Amino acid sequence: MHRARERRNVSKGDYNVSKDNDGASTYPHRLNFYDRPPMSDVTVEEFETSALDRLRVLTEIESSAARNRTWDETKRVIDSLCKKHLPLGPNPPNLKDEQWIRDTERRKDHLSHFVLRLAFCRSEDLRRRFVKAETTLFRIRYETDLVDDRYQFLDSRQLDRTVASEEEKKEYKEDLISLHFSGPEDNTTKELWFKAARFYKVRWTRVPDLVERRSILLKGGWAYVPENAQASIIYDEFETRLVKALEVTNRALPRLDEDTRLLPILENLSKGFVAGVSSEVYDPSNQSNGDIKAEMVDELARQHFPLCMRTLHENLRRDSHLKHFGRLNYGLFLKVLGLSIEEAVVFWRKAFNKMTDDKFNKEHKYNIRHSYGLEGKRANYPAKSCVQLLTCAPSEPGCPYRQYSPENLSSALLQYYSGQGLTSADLPEILGTVKGGHCHVACTRVFEITHGKRVKRGEGMGEGESVTHPNQYAAKSIEMS
């Protein structure tokens, strides 16, 4: 889809600013409803970098929701992040030079939006999250827009709304005044205000947020929206259009399958969104003292976790869920690793991404806080040790070296640790140790192999000690990196 359009429009050599024939800018407004895909040539690199920059912003928007930031906080954080990665300035007063900068910015905004559309249209879940994040971004921009720019933008849109007639206004005068007038109790002021006030009439389904708060008048399914609340109409319009557009893109996507340049990029982008591309760069020097952030867990798991915890992590990512004992074991492990309670709530909230906020708060938040000793009997629970994991019931997620069949164990080891130097040549030895019933020895051997540069065979956790606790394994591994 993209490619076809890109080819049709040949305007080589001038892809920084795209202009219509009459020389006017393609992007007269800061805000964009993204009705039309970008029509100019794009390099593959630009295609990817612009999308990654936008993805950073969207991921942070999701994080903000998971961290329960207030709207003002979110706005501040996102605004500063946007300035860094995805700047988008207001219309310059008159300067032709600045117009050029604006157009570059807006072009990037435009392009990155459409690239991410391609990446996120494939599943219902991705679509929903993308729409939510994009709508939030649009809201933030709308609220930070200059008033003049905003009106110009509104005027340029053919929003499907009618102005309530004088007769209607008169009929519902009392209700409208009682709902929206907030001045002194003085009849002349009231009358003047009412005479000047303008109300837009739209179906109530387009302004559900206003309906929910009972802050507008509803008559026969029509909502009478005062001028200052019309942002709700815009947001809804934006959201509805995006939802529809994503579904259309999803249906058109198979035609893109032949393009081997773009698919891997798109694949990568959507993965990044699922895992939450860390907007903060992971720095191994500043953790283990409670400084681990929710976004860093993926990276840590890949490099430093023993098989039991690694398995739980991968299962959590695969299913967006873990069963009770899985949550318990993994949660306590992360706690001891140094994930603070705030970060733990963020981590689990984002991990259970198919769950509604309601369900999460009701069913899981308490348990997470409980495991941190903040609820119930307020005990400081320790993480499970190897002994506990080795002796737990087979139905619970315990030590994989003990619980897995040799075939499953082999494939799990290769899948998770081949990147760190484990080869199939090492397997017979490990499996042999497991067969002899020495699971912790097998686990220690895996540690030695995966840290082969610094640990000699037989050295184990230091001075030949074996693994006795998953946290010991992880801490040692982090320490050595």
Partner 1 sequence: MEIDDVDPTSPEVMLTFYRRLYPFKSIFHWLNQDANPTRRFTQREFAFTLPGDIYLRYQSFNSAEDLKKQVCQLNPSRFEIGPVYSARPRDKKTLRPGVLVPIQRELVFDIDMTDYDPVRTCCSGAGICKRCWGFIAAAVHVLDGAIRDNFGYQNLLWVYSGRRGIHLWISDSEALSLTDDHRKALVEFVSMNLGGETGNKRLNIRSKNVPPSIRHAADMLNQKFPDLVLADQECFDGENGSETLLSMLPPDIVSSLRKDWTANPYKSSEDKWEDLKLKAKADKSSVLLRALQDIVLLYTYPRIDAEVSKHRNHLLKAPFCVHPKTGRVCVPVNPDQVEEFDPDTVPTVGQLLKELDAIPKDENSPYEHHADWEKTSLKPYVDLLNQHALRLMEQTKGAKREDDLSW
Contact 110, 32 (CB under 8 A): yes
| Residue 193 burial (CB count, 10 A) | 14
Cβ at position 218, least distance to partner 1 in Å: 4
Site string for partner 1, 365-384 (x = CB under 8 A): --------------------
Q: Closer to partner 1 at the Cβ: 14 or 209?
A: 209
Residues 145-184 that bind partner 1 (CB under 8 A): 175, 178-179
Cβ at position 210, least distance to partner 1 in Å: 9
Task: Indicate which single residue of 76, 83, 92, 124 sits in contact with partner 1 (rule: CB under 8 A).
Answer: 124
Cβ at position 30, least distance to partner 1 in Å: 28
274 touching partner 1, by CB under 8 A: no
Task: Indicate which single residue of 111, 140, 217, 389 sits in contact with partner 1 (rule: CB under 8 A).
Answer: 217
**Annotated binding residue 386:** yes
Cβ at position 184, least distance to partner 1 in Å: 13
Q: Closer to partner 1 at the Cβ: 167 or 174?
A: 174
Residue with tokens 């157009």: 103
Q: Closer to partner 1 at the Cβ: 171 or 280?
A: 171
204 touching partner 1, by CB under 8 A: yes
What does each C-alpha distance from 107 to 90, 113, 238, 247, 328 come to in angstroms? Answer: 14, 10, 19, 24, 47
Q: Closer to partner 1 at the Cβ: 222 or 360?
A: 222
22 touching partner 1, by CB under 8 A: no
Residues 287-326 that bind partner 1 (CB under 8 A): none
Q: Closer to partner 1 at the Cβ: 179 or 274?
A: 179
Closest CA to 335 of 269, 290, 295: 290
C-alpha torsion 433→461→398→295, nearest 10: -130
Residue with tokens 């991410």: 116
Distance CA 445, CA 439 (A): 10
212 touching partner 1, by CB under 8 A: yes
363 touching partner 1, by CB under 8 A: no
Cβ at position 222, least distance to partner 1 in Å: 7
Cβ at position 403, least distance to partner 1 in Å: 28
Residues that bind partner 1 (CB under 8 A): 123-124, 175, 178-179, 203-205, 208-209, 211-215, 217-222
